[in-house]
């Protein structure tokens, strides 16, 4: 039995598996820099880790996997790097869509896609259409995503609903806000994994992460494997989640 299989057995017997895992995929550039390679090479290597995370989630029985692929702030990076990232997105979709569909993965996208080039938008539309109906894992790709912008949009929509008489002011509560977020209908993440050792949330799912367990690993994203995912789940299974309450 491989080390990965042994860890998976421990996960399966270790208690409740997180329904929703969110991942901040960090460290591609540092991985390339350490090897004196161009940053886009690090991003390309990171594609392998995406497959590891998806396959590991399927094996462990995770219901929702949300990957932070590209933030709104990332548009401030050099145009050459942005172009390389968009090309890799198209390549990932071309290479992985059939396998995702066969594995029962349904893909969704979080974020403002208005700034994407037509080819990238078309590729994403194809991914969503061809994986629709998958029942094993819901895969959220956060692309051109900003949590503050998401919350601001939800606030504007709630204000419009109140102004138009569709919603009473006293009914604007936490549930109402959640229903206007892009994750409406999904469970909040139980576990957030951040690679590369950085200890920041980075404007990712700020509302949804209110009571999420955090697992920070020094592993750079291109080196991340399903074994690291299983280790994060085992860490989660060893914690007591109180949600602000006091246990007896």
Can you tell me the distance from the alpha carbon of 22 to that of 81, in angstroms, rounded to the nearest whole number? 24
Catalytic (active-site) positions: 26, 74
- The full DSSP string for the chain is --HHHHHHHHHHHSSPPPSEEEEE---HHHHHHHTT--HHHHHHHHHHHHHHHHHHHHHHT-SEEEEEEEEGGGGGS-HHHHHHHHHHHHHHHHHHHHHHHHTTEEEEEES-GGGS-HHHHHHHHHHHHHHTT--SEEEEEEEEE-HHHHHHHHHHHHHHHHHTTSS-GGG-SHHHHHHTSTTTTSPPPSEEEE-TT-----SSSTTTTTT-EEEE----GGG--HHHHHHHHHHHHTS---TT----
Contacts of 126 (CB under 8 A, 6+ apart): 93, 97
């Amino acid at each position: 039995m491989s080390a990965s299989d042994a860890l998976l057995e421990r996960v399966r017997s270790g208690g409740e598996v997180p329904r929703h895992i969110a991942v901040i995929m960090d460290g591609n550039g540092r991985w390339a820099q350490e090897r004196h390679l161009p940053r886009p090479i690090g991003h390309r290597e990171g594609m392998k880790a995406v497959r590891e995370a998806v396959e590991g989630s399927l094996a462990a029985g995770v219901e929702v996997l949300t990957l932070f692929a590209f933030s709104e702030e990332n548009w401030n990076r050099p145009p050459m790097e942005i172009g390389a990232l968009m090309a890799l997105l198209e390549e990932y979709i071309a290479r992985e869509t059939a396998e995702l569909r066969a594995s029962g993965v349904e893909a969704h996208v979080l974020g403002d896609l208005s700034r994407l080039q037509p080819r990238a938008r078309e590729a994403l539309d194809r991914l969503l259409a061809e994986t629709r109906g998958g029942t094993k894992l819901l895969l959220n790709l956060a692309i051109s995503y900003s949590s503050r912008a998401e919350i601001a949009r939800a606030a504007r929509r709630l204000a419009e609903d109140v102004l138009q008489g569709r919603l009473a002011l006293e009914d604007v509560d936490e549930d109402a806000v959640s229903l206007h977020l892009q994750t409406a209908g999904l469970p909040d993440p139980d576990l957030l994994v951040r690679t590369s050792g950085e200890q920041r949330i980075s404007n990712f799912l700020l509302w949804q992460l209110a009571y999420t367990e955090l697992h920070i690993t020094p592993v750079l994203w291109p080196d991340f494997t399903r074994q690291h995912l299983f280790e994060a789940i085992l860490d989660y299974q060893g914690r007591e989640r109180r949600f602000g309450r006091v246990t007896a």
